[in-house]
């Protein structure tokens, strides 16, 4: 009899990740930890486990062991509360007659690092987090894993780790921050408001129309102090929430995890649901790769397009799929974007935040809408042991009269906001975030900057003029060239805040989910390997045509060949340490900037 697709997934012909032999004594759920705890094969390991808190032999021999991996650290509102969520998850695990072992991995605050050299360390934390989850789970023989991420790279990092060890796993999202409020401007604000206010500050357009006496220093100080009032990840449909909603839609969290605010009591109550779900996964042998199917990834893309998610979602979903050995390509994003309407009036391009969506039903209510419309496949399996459709069947529909999620008949844009562009500037592809509010085509003269800080300096000095259409080109900031593919939020937000509508920004680096405007990133091949973006000169005419998915410079093939023959790769900015190691290992942005390619 021909094996099912599920059996094929569980028994790959050529496994690329380490698979351990295991025995199954005791409860039947401790199939990995029993390697250490059965009989007296590893007496020293048992001694260490008793010292760590195992109370007696019965618990040691029969209780499964669940690793609880939080990306907790102080100094960042996205992550500062995750240790407390982990402690609650441990209590709930113990109520299920299982052992919970908390451990930690590292993170970087994109909000703090943005615009500085620290941002070069951000993307590579995704790989370190994945390495950590894989390492601890396998080294300690954990039977299952609950991961608790908060900031941008955390979510794909923990899921990539899960896909590598492929033991029963789920994610608890740390949740979104509450909106801030500017006392002087008397309006809600968020982290993106700070970056855009800085652009207004630099170009002297930061003013309070109702009180001209307030200085730009007063206004910026007020915004800085009040933009982030609580714990939680950045509140718009930025990268953290993009990934959380995508991962929930793939079935790797309990329903509602991605839209439950960080400070809500419901976030702590979620821990009990997660403990129950992880036990179901262990009992039914539901593993991450059983959930991370092509259909599940396509569902994630549907949600990303409907909600206006971050361009970083392209990079991370490609890497998650690559780790799970699922065939996902840039063309899949374009295909899904072409058929899914953009319906969410969420920041950065809209006015609402995730906490507002929570109040009208949250992500499960949006999933319910999209399943009924035939855009989401409700048959995919989830960590509850039920299908996606079964999970949301009893969930309330979106509240009547709400304006946040538009009807499918009257969307903000009839297709998705993510456009995959190709052309002589990006033979391997580029990723554009175009909501339609800025138009679908932009033509301008190139103004080239070889590093992000060069553009930041020019903006700080007011050297980007109004008037003639300009395409600002920031290069040598790709995965290898950065190194680390830093985000260009400081520049993109300054452009928006300054009201420079005559400007488009393109880069072989990437953007924060808070970025918006006529922006193109992930240009591939990147400049440092001799991609065409390295050959652009000031004054070249660049055309960005989202209707036809093209990005081209008005330079002949012959001229490009001549320029390439004269081009010399720049000296690598770092030759030792973690960034140099990352630059040597990392792959192309068009395949997710992975470091574990085989």
What distance in Å separates the CA atoms of residue 172 and residue 89, rounded to the nearest whole number? 9
Q: Find residue 171's DSSP bridge partners.
A: 147
Task: Say whether 521 sits in a helix, a strand or coil.
Answer: strand
Q: What is the DSSP string of 338-400?
A: HHS-B-B-BTTTSSB-HHHHHHTTHHHHHHHHHHHTTSS-TT-B-TTSSBHHHHHTTSPPPPT
* Residue 571 DSSP label: P
Gap between the Cα atoms of 448 and 450, Å rounded: 7
Of 236, 132, 256, nearest to 179 (Cα)?
A: 236
Count of helix runs (H) and strand runs (E) in the chain: 23, 14
Map tokens 């065409």 to a residue.
532
Measured CA to CA, the distance from residue 371 to residue 392 in angstroms comes to 9
CB 570 within 8 A of CB 444: no
Distance (Å, whole) CA 550 – CA 537: 19
User: What is the 3-state secondary structure of 236-251?
Assistant: CCCHHHHHHHHHHHCC
The verdict on whether omega for the bond into residue 348 sits within 30 degrees of 0, i.e. cis, is yes
Nearest to 120 by CA among 428, 488, 459: 488
Dist. CA 586–CA 588, nearest whole Å? 7
Give the SS3 label for residue 99.
strand
**8 A C-beta contact, residue 472 and residue 455:** yes
What are residue 536's phi and psi, to 5 degrees?
Answer: -65, 140
Q: Check if 512 is active-site.
A: yes
The conformation of residue 177, written as its DSSP 8-state character, comes to P
Peptide bond into 292 cis (omega under 30): no
Catalytic residue from among 132, 349, 492, 512: 512
Catalytic residues: 512
């Amino acid at each position: 009899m021909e094996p099912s697709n599920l059996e094929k997934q569980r028994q790959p012909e050529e496994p690329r990740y380490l698979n351990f032999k295991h025995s199954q004594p005791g409860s039947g759920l401790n199939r990995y930890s029993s390697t250490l705890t059965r009989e007296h094969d590893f007496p020293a390991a048992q001694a260490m486990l008793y010292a760590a808190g195992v109370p007696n032999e019965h618990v040691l021999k029969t209780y499964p062991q669940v690793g609880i991996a939080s990306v907790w650290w102080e100094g960042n509102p996205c992550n500062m509360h995750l240790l407390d969520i982990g402690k609650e998850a441990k209590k709930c695990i113990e109520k299920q007659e299982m052992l919970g072992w908390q451990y930690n991995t590292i993170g970087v605050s994109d909000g703090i690092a943005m615009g500085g050299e620290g941002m070069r360390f951000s993307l590579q934390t995704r790989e370190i987090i994945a390495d950590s989850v894989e390492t601890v789970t396998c080294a300690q023989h954990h039977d299952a894993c609950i991961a608790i991420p908060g900031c941008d790279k955390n979510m794909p990092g923990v899921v990539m780790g899960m896909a590598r060890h492929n033991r029963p796993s789920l994610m608890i999202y740390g949740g979104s921050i509450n909106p801030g409020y500017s006392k002087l401007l008397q309006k809600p604000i968020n982290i993106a408001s700070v970056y855009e206010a800085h652009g207004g500050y630099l170009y002297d357009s930061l003013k309070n129309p109702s009180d001209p006496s307030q200085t730009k220093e007063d206004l910026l100080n007020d915004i800085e102090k009040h933009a982030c009032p609580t714990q939680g990840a950045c509140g718009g449909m930025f990268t953290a929430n993009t990934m959380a909603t995508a991962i929930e839609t793939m079935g790797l969290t309990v329903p509602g995890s991605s839209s439950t605010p960080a400070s809500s009591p419901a976030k702590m109550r979620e821990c009990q649901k997660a403990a129950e779900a992880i036990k179901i996964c262990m009992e039914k042998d539901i593993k991450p790769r059983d959930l991370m199917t092509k259909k599940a990834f396509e569902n994630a893309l549907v949600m990303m397009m409907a909600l206006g998610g971050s361009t970083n979602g392209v990079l991370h979903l490609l890497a998650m799929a690559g780790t799970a050995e699922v065939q996902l390509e840039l063309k899949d994003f374009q295909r899904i974007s072409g058929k899914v309407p953009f319906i969410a009036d969420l920041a950065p391009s809209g006015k609402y935040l995730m906490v507002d969506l929570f109040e009208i039903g949250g992500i499960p209510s949006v999933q319910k809408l999209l399943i009924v419309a035939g855009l989401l496949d409700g048959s995919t399996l989830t960590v509850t042991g039920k299908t996606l459709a079964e999970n949301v069947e009893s969930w309330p529909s979106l509240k009547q009269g709400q304006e946040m999620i538009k009807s499918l008949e009257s969307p903000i844009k009839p297709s998705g906001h993510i456009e995959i562009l190709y052309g002589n500037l990006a033979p391997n592809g580029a990723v554009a975030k175009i909501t339609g509010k800025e138009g679908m085509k932009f033509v301008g003269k190139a103004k080239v900057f070889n590093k992000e800080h060069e553009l930041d300096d020019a903006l700080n000095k007011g050297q980007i003029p109004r008037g003639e259409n300009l395409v600002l080109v920031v290069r040598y900031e790709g995965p290898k060239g950065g190194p680390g593919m830093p985000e260009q939020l400081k520049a993109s937000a300054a452009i928006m805040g300054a009201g420079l509508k005559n400007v488009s920004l393109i880069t072989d680096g990437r953007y924060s989910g808070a970025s918006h405007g006529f922006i193109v990133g992930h240009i591939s091949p990147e400049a440092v390997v001799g991609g065409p973006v390295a050959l652009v000169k000031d004054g070249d005419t660049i055309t960005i045509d989202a209707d036809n998915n093209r990005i081209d410079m008005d330079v002949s093939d012959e001229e490009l060949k001549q320029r390439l023959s004269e081009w010399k790769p720049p000296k690598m900015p770092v030759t030792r340490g973690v960034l140099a190691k990352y630059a040597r290992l990392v792959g192309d942005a068009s395949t997710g900037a992975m470091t574990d390619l085989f």
